[in-house]
Amino acid sequence: MATERAIGIDIGGTGIKGAVVDLGTGELVTERIKIKTPAGGRPGDIVAATGQLLSIIAGQGHASLPLGVCFPAIVRHGRTLSAANISDEWIGLEAEALFERELGTPIHFINDADAAGYAESQFGAARGERGLAILTTLGTGIGSAFVYDGVLVPNSELGHLEIDGHDAEDRAAYSAMEREQLSWSQWAERLQRYYSHVEFLFSPDLFIVGGGVSKHHEQFLPLLSLDTPIVPAAFRNNAGLLGAAALAARF
């Protein structure tokens, strides 16, 4: 495992990131390359942009490595069943087969939050953790990942739990804090309601909080009162590509 490497690509609504990952340490072997997600986020355009990024990485001498791709959608058996900040044309699409055909190589295709959760279980805050670890990413919405004894259970979608008559992410995502100009303490009250509900439903052993706002974790995590330990994620911008790469080498 210590010498294995794989390529991870993280496709988002605004950017597509990729790098070669050392699967023994979780460190990036190459510089992280980022290109803009094509306007409109249509399948053909995103696949073409991903091919451009992959060709840059391959041109650095890494052409034959396993490839993992994570994506902002529910992914079941290679088919995308939703679309977040990308074209609705992805809904119901055989996306994994499309990428493999156009890129000319097998890939491991996964939801972006699930990839981040797997990265935390292999290299970060949940490494060696027994029982159920739940990662939540607080951003435009709330992404989530379940990892039980190091095994990923995909497509949990905890941002769409209904709490007090609302999709949880409508009130508790970081975007809600920005949109409504909430203070840290006001936002923490909503997070308390959210995490208490998730804690009651699933009795996890560990909560991990990711997303860009996790770099400010000292502003809001200490305000929460839970029975479950809650810690910031070790990885933010690189989590998706790390997890995608690790899963590509495993399967």
- pLDDT tens digits, one per residue of 39-50: 999 999 999 999
- pLDDT single digits (tens) 98-132: 999 999 999 999 999 999 999 999 999 999 999 99
pLDDT of 206 reads 98
* pLDDT for 24 beyond 80: yes
| Full set of structural domains in the chain with CATH | 5-112 (3.30.420.40), 125-232 (3.30.420.40)
More confident residue, 214 or 59: 214
Query: Can you tell me the mean pLDDT for 53-71?
Result: 90
Q: Which of 62, 25, 73, 68 is nearest to 50 (CA)?
A: 68
| pLDDT value of position 2 | 42
Per-residue pLDDT for 251 more than 80? Answer: no
pLDDT category at 140 given cuts 50, 70, 90 is: confident
Confidence of residue 1 (pLDDT cuts 50, 70, 90): very low
**What's the whole-model pTM score?**
0.92
